[in-house]
Chain A
Amino acid sequence: DAGITQSPRHKVTETGTPVTLRCHQTENHRYMYWYRQDPGHGLRLIHYSYGVKDTDKGEVSDGYSVSRSKTEDFLLTLESATSSQTSVYFCAISDQQGLGQETQYFGPGTRLLVL
């Protein structure tokens, strides 16, 4: 299995509080991604990174920010959590893009409940 960890694995928080989720990889892969997974929607990309300090928005980025100060760490921050951000969050990594056959490896996920 790819070396990807996420922390925390479970979190309960209150509306309006800031939350930071961490993704850590030991594979030295260039690309890192944050997804959320909700019933009926599949996985949806929040933000992604193509290198240290290089990040960009995905399709559901509103209310989220990210940072990548080291190759191995990709942080997702909910500045002011809302109940609509209750979800399962997955981090993924890949070592190549644009070649048509890239594979994404996923972390174990973080279950976030916003009350």
Chain B
Amino acid sequence: RKEVEQDPGPFNVPEGATVAFNCTYSNSASQSFFWYRQDCRKEPKLLMSVYSSGNEDGRFTAQLNRASQYISLLIRDSKLSDSATYLCVVNHKTSYDKVIFGPGTSLSVIP
């Protein structure tokens, strides 16, 4: 089983739609969680950190469920500019701070 799993998609949604991505992780000792965004042929960029209490940044809401070991990202009122691949990222301690990137979920927002 992969350490971090995501539905690869693609998710094709119309403008204005709400879309949700889920991510599961296997290591219960994982300590911190993030969502990164990667545009086609570009580098990943941090979208938001994910806190235990859940957090919101404009149209984006991230949730963490430690008991079930999954993270979610909700995008409301989708824009064309939201089209990208969304990477779930999990960090836990081994001999170093091990950062594991999920394979990503592809989103296309359609006019």
- Chain A interface residues toward B at CB < 8 A: 35, 40-45, 48, 50, 56, 90, 97-98, 100-109
Contacts of B42 in A (CB 8 A): 108-109
Task: List residues of chain B with CB under 8 Å of any chain A CB.
Answer: 4, 8, 31-32, 34, 42-46, 49, 87, 91, 93, 95-99, 101-104
The residue in A43, A45, A100, A108 that gathers the most chain B C-beta atoms within 10 A of its C-beta is A43
The interface residues of chain A lying within 8 Å CB-to-CB of B4 are: 42
**Given A42-B101, A42-B104, A97-B97, are A90 and B44 neighbors across the interface (CB < 8 Å)?**
yes
B32 touches A43 (CB 8 A): no
With contact pairs A48-B96, A56-B95 given, residues A101 and B49 touching in the complex (Cβ less than 8 Å): yes
Classify the secondary structure of B's interface with A: strand
9 other A-B residue contacts (CB within 8 Å) besides A35-B101, A102-B91: A40-B8, A48-B96, A50-B96, A56-B96, A97-B96, A100-B31, A102-B97, A106-B43, A108-B43
Is the pair A100, B43 in contact by a Cβ cutoff of 8 Å? no
